[in-house]
Amino acid sequence: MSKIDEYVAERSKNNPEFAKLVEEENINLEVAIKVRELREDMGMSQRDFASLIGKPQSTIARIENGSMNASTKLLSEIAQATNQRLTIQFSLAH
C-alpha cells in the first residue's frame, strides 16, 4: 500500500465526510475511464459521441475528466444510445 493509500485509509476511518468524498471521486474516475474507453472503442471524437448521445461536447469532456457527477439517467442515456448495458457495482468498505 502506498503512502497516499495509507493516508486516505487512515483519514477515512476518522472522518466519514472525507470517506464519502473519496468514494464519490473514485466513482467519478471509474465513470470517466469507462466512458472514454467506450467512446474510443467506437472510434469517435468527443463531438461525435456527444452528438450520438444528444448532449453537448462539453458534457462528454466533463465526464471524461472526472469533473462531473454523471447521473444514472445520463449514464442510462449513454448506454441506450450506444447499445450498451449499464451495470453498476457497489462496494461497501468497512
**For 19-75, how does the pLDDT look when each residue is reduced to its tens digit (9 = 90+)?**
999 988 888 999 999 999 999 999 999 999 999 999 999 999 999 999 998 999 999
The secondary structure of 53-85 as a DSSP string is: HTS-HHHHHHHHTT-S---HHHHHHHHHHTT--
**For 3-24, how does the pLDDT look when each residue is reduced to its tens digit (9 = 90+)?**
998 999 999 999 999 999 998 8
Residue 90 has what pLDDT? Answer: 63
> For cell 476511518, what's the residue?
13
Name the helix (H) or strand (E) containing 20.
helix 16-41
Q: How confident is the model at residue 91 (pLDDT cuts 50, 70, 90)?
A: low
Domain boundaries, the chain: 3-81
* Superfamily for domain range 3-81: lambda repressor-like DNA-binding domains (1.10.260.40)
Neighbours of 78 (CB within 10 A): 24
Name the helix (H) or strand (E) containing 53.
helix 46-53
